[in-house]
Each structure stands twice: as C-alpha cells, then as structure tokens.
Amino acid sequence: MATTSDNAKKPRTPLYRNDLWTLEDDFSLGRAGDQVARMALEVEPPFTLGVTGKWGAGKTSIMRRAFATLGGQPIRQERALAEPGEEGRSEEWENLACANDQRKSQLGWPEEYFDAAGGVFCVWFSPWQHQNEENPLIPLLREIRIQFQAQIQTSLRNQSDNWQKLAEKTDRQKKHKENVKKIWTQCRSNGLASINLLGQVGDAALSLAVGSSTPILSGSIDAIHQMRQEGKDKDAELTALSDGQRFHLLFEDAVDQLLKTHLGFKEKGNAPEDNAPRLILFIDDLDRCEEAVIVRLLESIKLYLASRRCVFVLGLDDSAVLDTLTRYWQGRSQDSNREYLEKLFQAILAVPLPATARVREAVSEQLCAHGIPSPERLAEDIEQLLEPNPRKIKNFVNGLCATWEIHDIQAELPKEAGSKVRYSGARPLEEEQQREREKIVRRFLIFHYLRLYHRPVWRLLERQPESLAILRSVIWGPSEADPSPKGIDSNQQRLLKEFYFRAFSHVLNHPKGESGEERLFHGNESLDKAVEHFQARQDRKRSDECLCGLFRELIPRDYQLNKRYLYLDANGAPQPISDDNP
C-alpha cells in the first residue's frame, strides 16, 4: 500500500497532455531508453546507433531518458524563442541520472558501467532548429561548445565551493588553500583551452564542402595516426593534409581535450581502460529537416566526425529519411539508398509499441481528472480504437476531454440516464442507472471518434441528425430493415446510405452480399511503401471494426443523436434538449 509520502511524490495527472518528449514513463517505453544508455557505454567507438519509429512513436522520449541517465543536463539550446527551464525540472534529471543510488539499483548494471559513465560527456542537438545554416556542422559544433562551456562553469562553481569548505576544515589551512587554488586554476585553464579548441574546430568547418561525394577521408586516417606515432612534426603533418583530414584531426584533438577536462572534475579522476571516456552525441528529429540538411548532416557524420571517442545516437523515421534520399538523389535506386543508410548505422533500435496496460492506465487517469464516469471502461475502448501511437492517443484523449467540457455532458448525464432506465427490479435502481451512464459515455466516445476520423460522416450527422438511423442500418448490414427517418426523402436516403457505406466499406459486407477484399494496388511502388500503406489500411480497418462493434452494442434502433453533442447557444452554454428528444 502506498504511503502518504509516496502519494505526495507522485506528479499530478495533467488535464491535457502535450506531445512533447517526457521523462515520465507514461507508456512503459523507459526500458528502451535505459537500453540505449547502456549500449552507448558498451559499444566501441566510432559507433552510430539509430533509434527509429513513426511520427509520435516516442523516439525523443526514449533518447531523452538515455541522455538524462548518462548525466546529460537540461541545458537550453541557443535559439531565439527558448525559455529558461524549458527542458524540464532539474530534480527529474537528477533522479534519472545513473549516479543516483536509487537509479543504480533500478538499472542493475555491473558496477564498472557506472564508473564508465563518469567519463561520458553527452550533447543534445536538434538539427531542424538550425536548418537555415548552410553547413550543419557549424551549429552542431557550436552546441558542443555551448553545452560544454555551461557544464564547465557549473563544475567550477561547485568544485570551488567544495574545495573551499574542505580547506576551512583542515589544520594546515593556508597550505591547503594554496593547493586548492592551484587545482582550481589548472582545471579552469584546461576548460578554457578546450573551449578555445572547439572554437578552432568550428572555424575549420567553414572550409569544408559538406554534401560533396569526394572521399576525403577514405583510407587516410590510419596513415595519419601512424604519422603521429612516428613522431612527425604536427604542423608539417597538418599542412600536408586536405581540409577534411585537417578538420578530422582537429576534431579528435578537441574531443580528447574536452573529455580530459571533463574527467578532471570527476571525483575518481579516470575511467576504466576498457571503457574509455567518450563523447555521446544525441541528434534528434533528423527527418523533420529539409532534404539538403539531412544529406549534409549524414555526410558530415560519415566523413568528418567518426572519431575513436564518439558515439552518435540518431532519432529518425527511417522510412521518411529513405524517401528524402530518393528525392534528393534522383535516379538512384531505393536499394542503393537503403544500403547507404545501413552503412551509416552500426545498429538500429526500433521503438517498441507502448504497453497496453500502461496506455489504459494513463488514459484512465486523465479521464478521471476531468470527472468523466467509467474511466477504466472508456480507456479500454480507446486503447482498442486507436493505433498504438503515443502522440495520437494523447491527441485523441485531449480532444475527447475538451469536447466533454465544451458540451457539458456531465450535466446531462442524470437526465439522460434516468430517461433510458427501464427498471425491472432485477438489479438495484442505482446499479441500473450506473450501467446506463456508462453506455451514454461510451456513445459519446463513438461520436467523438466519428468527429475526428470520419469527418464527412460527422458533417452529414451534424446537418441531418435523423440520418443516424441510416448509418446504423448500414453498419448492422443487409439483415437490418431500411429505416424511414422523418424529413428525409427516399432519394436523400439512398444517397446517404451510399455515403455511409463508402465510409465503412472496408469493414462491411457489400449490400449485394459480397465481402470486401484486400487488394494490393502497388503499381510502381516499392515493397517498403506497399507494406507501409497496407499497415496504415490495417490500422484504420482495425479501428473501424472496433467502432462498428461499439455501434452495434450501444446504439439501439430508436436512439436519436443527442443534440447536446452538436450545438452551443450564443453564450457558449449547451442548448437545452427538447422534451421530445429522449
């Protein structure tokens, strides 16, 4: 049983959930984020990991969790509209960091992994926020420098306070203070040198022709390292190299200096040899960028940034990126573009589907926050109706709750439930009313689904609520007698029946008795595209089959569409329902 303190720590359920990334594990995807963090420690750099999934699948939340686990900080990116604190509450990040004792227990990693994490420096980069830059390397390097500089300033401030307190406690206070000052000065000097070197790397990036197909680094990096080992003069070495090769060496030097400085602020002072310090770059929303930006950034990673200290974690919709490459390199086959992507990544992690039980729990909590009755039953219906996509689920439930409030359905429940109950004495009256209230709420769900996902159907119902009887007969099938709604002539009835059948023909039997068939109309479509379209149709079919099942269960023959679902008066309050509308 949860204690009072446990309940106090639990965050309040939001009335409406935004679709931004979250560190809270609302849909049980946290384990995937933990695996990304662990994998970033286990791989041998250079290494590029792709986190792939459709729009709204949870890629950013998974990557953010990994970023926070490895000690990433909620640092504001350098952009005009950013607000302080937009990255989330600092205590959330502290609780997720693997240095936290409780988090260590939760992760259950070998102890050496936590030691290795002490030598990791993480940087977050969102290229679509900088896509007006011609060379995507420039803003990426700028973010590395800005985020490193911010962390150095924080570390210097914290270390200065800690060392000062330590010096005040020692008997040999004067001598110790001198040592403290010397150490602090050295760390500050190293930090400034690292920041300066990162600035030089950024300047060097200006000379690169990013996006060209010239094999700048092919076969030359090993030779460069051999030259170093042989003790050749560094200036002469750099002079003899191309711009791309010089940039690569400068970048490696800058990363080495950055990690050395970063490690100098850690208590242990070094990381295990088999888990050398590394820079982990999280690059998100790549598929949101324009075509040229995507290609240039991928080329930059491939040609210039593949360092022995660097791990890249890229979040993207691989299907969208593949389409981008096909448009960008016209005339090149899709198989060639797919091979290009495969060469960029050493591993790809597909975002798993959200856990059914957790989806229902999260939806139920939000419905409860709005006082909507039968939240568990409604959450079960919603989970079955919708594609298992976190963003789509949030969007639908937010709209459902807002519509519930706008039309003030809560106020109508007692009246409508009371008018529908036919008390037989088999159950207590209160139980019968509760069952009827649940039916009303579930009917409301049906109409909200039509409002969002079958807008032509909803527009017809809005203008002619009486045509609900025709829709019901279409969904019930040929065995259902044709209705004769008042105010709709026979010609309109025929047209409405055709419209409604067309909306649901993929899940209904044809009026002449033929069943609908799935056909593969692919033409010149690739297999990937054909499968993508097939899955989209299957998701829609699954949702509409569920809707039709709910319709048959909850919409009786004599049911009339509650006008409270349709109209608001001039003051914004729902119009009263006429006495002749049950």
Return the closest-CA partner of residue 51 out of 345, 482, 408, 465: 345
Q: 251 in a domain, yes or no?
A: yes
The answer on 202 and 117 residing in a single domain is: yes
Scanning 329-389, the segments in alpha helix (DSSP H) are 334-344, 356-369, 375-385
The least confident of 374-378, 494-498, 565-569 is 565-569
Q: 260 in a domain, yes or no?
A: yes
The answer on 181 and 54 residing in a single domain is: yes
Residue 428: φ, ψ to 5°: -60, 145
Q: 6 in a domain, yes or no?
A: no
The answer on 297 and 374 residing in a single domain is: no
Q: 533 in a domain, yes or no?
A: yes
User: Quick one: pLDDT at residue 268?
Assistant: 45
Percentage of residues of the chain with pLDDT beyond 90: 20
Q: Is the pLDDT of residue 538 over 50?
A: yes
CA of residue 157 relative to chain centroid, distance: 34
The answer on 283 and 365 residing in a single domain is: no
Q: 573 in a domain, yes or no?
A: no
Determine the 3-state secondary structure of 141 from DSSP.
helix
User: Quick one: pLDDT at residue 578?
Assistant: 46
Q: CA angle, 190 as apex, 186 and 193 as ends, to 5°?
A: 140
The answer on 544 and 486 residing in a single domain is: yes
The answer on 322 and 337 residing in a single domain is: yes
Q: Are 520 and 530 a contacting pair, CB within 8 Å?
A: yes
pLDDT per residue as tens digits for the range 193-250: 666 666 666 666 666 644 443 333 333 344 444 544 554 455 555 555 566 677 777 8
The answer on 361 and 285 residing in a single domain is: no
Amino acid at site 89: R
Determine the 3-state secondary structure of 218 from DSSP.
coil
User: Quick one: pLDDT at residue 507?
Assistant: 84
Alpha carbon distances (Å) from 91 to 23, 60, 265: 11, 19, 21
Residue 524: φ, ψ to 5°: -95, 15
Question: Where in the sequence is the domain holding 524, given as residue range(s)?
Answer: 356-565
Mean pLDDT within 323-329 = 88
What is the distance between the alpha carbons of residues 225 and 350, in angstroms, rounded to a whole number?
A: 36
Q: 582 in a domain, yes or no?
A: no
The answer on 399 and 523 residing in a single domain is: yes
Q: In the 8-state DSSP scheme, what is residue 574?
A: B
The answer on 111 and 150 residing in a single domain is: yes
pLDDT per residue as tens digits for the range 396-428: 999 999 999 988 888 877 776 665 555 555 666
pTM over 0.85: no
Final residue of a domain: which of 324, 350, 376? 350
Please give the tally of structural domains in the chain: 2
Final residue of a domain: which of 350, 375, 410? 350
pLDDT per residue as tens digits for the range 30-41: 889 999 999 999
Final residue of a domain: which of 350, 370, 404? 350
- Other CB atoms within 10 Å distance of the CB of residue 72: 26
Q: 19 in a domain, yes or no?
A: no
Determine the 3-state secondary structure of 313 from DSSP.
strand
The answer on 327 and 381 residing in a single domain is: no
The answer on 366 and 313 residing in a single domain is: no
Q: Are 271 and 115 a contacting pair, CB within 8 Å?
A: yes
Q: In the 8-state DSSP scheme, what is residue 47?
A: E
Q: 577 in a domain, yes or no?
A: no
The answer on 328 and 362 residing in a single domain is: no
| Res. 557 pLDDT band, cuts 50 70 90 | confident
Strand order in the sheet with 278-283: 120-125, 278-283, 310-316, 47-52, 347-350
